[in-house]
Amino acid sequence: MTDITVQEIELLTLESLPFAVDYGFRVDSLGSGTSTVRAPYQESFLRPGGTISGPVIMGLADYALFVAILTKIGLVELAVTTNFNINFLQRPEPGDLLAVASVIKIGKRLAVGEIEVYLDGEENMIAHATSTYSIPPKT
């Protein structure tokens, strides 16, 4: 694990990830190759039918894995998503979302991980995602 802190992630988010700021995403915890991030509920998350929209869930999952990868490679802003796959498992009611991400494999150029998304306080996953990130070469 690099010596990355929640405060460094928050600063990077403020400076470079406006979508995450707009959605209020925040880091709950960091580990070596892991992160738990939260999307505090906003009424703007809802889609017709009163459920949280897929783009919010996908954005949170992507952000969670980005943060988990940074715990392994440091503050590399240009690490980018190259593949993202998500399965929505159940309809989420309004409430805070938690995404728990873990890096499965990290190499010189690619990182692969998985993300479990939950409604805070609930035991059952509402979505499961896998993703691959491209890591830029060191200069």
pTM for the model: 0.94
The predicted structure's pLDDT at residue 70: 96
User: What's the CA gap between 86 and 31, in Å, rounded?
Assistant: 23
Q: Taking CA 83 as the corner, what is the angle to CA 80 and CA 84, rounded to the nearest 5 degrees?
A: 105
Residues in a beta bridge with 30? 35
Average of per-residue pLDDT across 86-105: 96
Is residue 66 included in any domain, yes or no? Answer: yes
Q: Answer yes or no: is pLDDT of 86 > 60.
A: yes
What domain range includes position 13?
Answer: 6-134
Is residue 1 included in any domain, yes or no? Answer: no
pLDDT in tens, 37-74: 999 999 999 999 899 999 999 999 999 999 999 999 99
Q: Are strands 34-39 and 46-47 parallel, antiparallel or unpaired?
A: unpaired
Q: Give 2's pLDDT tier (boundaries 50, 70, 90).
A: low
Number of domains, the chain: 1
Domain containing 88 — which CATH number? 3.10.129.10
